[in-house]
Amino acid sequence: MSHVPPASLTGSPDVFDERVLVLDFGSQYAQLIARRVREQNVYAEIVRHDIAPERVRAHRPRGIILSGGPSSVYEPGAPRCHPEILQMGIPVLGICYGMQLVTQILGGQVANSPAREYGRTRCFIQGDPHLFVGIMDQTDVWMSHGDQVARVSEDFVSLAHTETCPLAAVRHRRLPVYGLQFHPEVTHTPQGSRILHNFVTMVCGCEGRWRLGDFAREAIHRMRRQIGGARVICGLSGGVDSAVTAALLYKAIGRQLSCILVNNGLLRKAEQESVIAEFSNHFQTDLHVVDARDRFLTALAGIVHPDQKRRCIGHAFIECFKQEATKIENARFLAQGTLYPDVIESGAAPDGPAATIKLHHNVGGLPDELGFELVEPLRDLFKDEVRKLGLELGLPDDVVWRHPFPGPGLAVRCLGEVTRERLDVLREADAIVVQEIKAAGLYLETSQAFAVLLPVQSVGVMGDARTYDDAVAVRCVHTDDFMTADWSRLPAEVLARISTRIINEVRGVNRVCYDISSKPPATIEWE
């Protein structure tokens, strides 16, 4: 029998009615857990690990997942959730650290294990009528722990074990509380998606009503309510986020939308011409193009720290919008393509994790006196969801599948000081990277590919002459969700063509390197 929450928790049916909260204890996979739940057509939201019980009730979740984390639950000051959350009757699934925490709170003991498990492990399933329906008796799982549950109270039942972990999965006898020592959210656990599916459907009683089409209709209705008869300004960058934001707004308010492309001097090669062509062909809307290259370069002069770059760009960007907005009658709103990972990583979600990974140009760098009311229709979506929404809205494939481009543009790919000359070098190198990957038929097989100009010079030889020129790093990754990513194993001949062309065609570069780091521990962008 499924543990369906009482009617008072479910509220009126809408696209957010089936909601699962992910309590973040500092896991590198917290966002991945949320993404995997959404793949089950159930809306997932990441919140603070210490979220108050009354805030949980306000969210009306069907289920709660406690993420993993780097701490040990028995350490002083280790992050904890409110014990009351486990007694609410809402189904709870603890993963790794989350499992250790719930078993400890409910009378168990966690200890450092002499036999640590990291990586793929064979797990033996003892069975469960809900969580492990359809799961083979023996299955591979991904472990990443030095601690493990040494003892549980008599209220818990063991559901699975490995050779070195006797309690790899558990269930409470009375409460709808489950625990997994392994990580079902990663692809290294082949049946992990089925386990999460079982949790949200068999245990939480969700029917899987989360649909992007429903989300779009709800977002359009919400924006019409918010905007009324006013005019909205939407910044265009050439990326899929701003394009989908504009398309969704156009569906909502039509000719009340004015789009502004700010040429900040940090765009990719031929970006301005491309955006003008795309939006002239697909939108009958008011398009303004602002040449602000000198303003942004002046603001960035001497700035080398990435967060300072983002702040400077954010301030200059808004000032440009303010000036251009004076030419647009009744402009009250500013639309931005802020995504859910941006909100979470910036620590800007009301119940979100407090740690800030980066200052996002939208949610982290805006001045207090904005002058506009914000419209952010995509702030609940992940990148792959935005692409699917773009296709549903009728955007062309070349716009939807274009590789992401950071809001601060080439400024955060030009490491060190940003100057006109260095940007010109980077722009040419970046264009060559994309051209060669497209020519090799690998553009859609990679998720993001670009060049980075390093603040490093090295010795080289060209035409019998000694050079002391710049180095360029090439970054190419593949990922399903941009929360984790692996470096792309490009064919050697493609890398050779990229290197040869950059060194031969881009004046001032004599060395090309290929970045073979994954996320984590690295990020996709260098800054």
The residue from 96, 206, 259, 320 that is catalytic is 96
The 169-172 sheet, strands edge to edge: 43-48, 19-24, 63-66, 92-95, 177-180, 169-172, 156-161, 109-125, 138-151
> Which pLDDT score, from 0 to 100, does residue 364 have?
40
Residues of the chain with pLDDT under 70: 1-15, 115, 282, 345-370, 481
Mark whether 96 is an active-site residue: yes
Task: Map out the domains of the chain with their CATH numbers.
Answer: 15-203 (3.40.50.880), 212-400 (3.40.50.620), 419-514 (3.30.300.10)
- Render pLDDT for 128-151 as a digit per residue (tens, 0 to 9): 889 999 999 999 999 987 888 999
Burial of 322 (0-12, 13-18, 19+ CB in 10 A): middle
> Which pLDDT score, from 0 to 100, does residue 89 have?
96
The answer to whether 349 and 343 have CB atoms below 8 angstroms apart is: yes
User: Among residues 137, 138, 121, 133, which one has the least CA distance to residue 186?
Assistant: 121
pTM for this entry: 0.71
Mark whether 185 is an active-site residue: yes
Q: Cα angle vertex 118, ends 448, 51, to 5°?
A: 75
> Which pLDDT score, from 0 to 100, does residue 5 have?
35
The per-residue pLDDT of the chain, averaged, comes to 88
The residue from 49, 130, 183, 403 that is catalytic is 183
The answer to whether 286 and 259 have CB atoms below 8 angstroms apart is: yes
Strand, coil or helix: 488? coil
Mark whether 183 is an active-site residue: yes
The residue from 18, 39, 45, 185 that is catalytic is 185
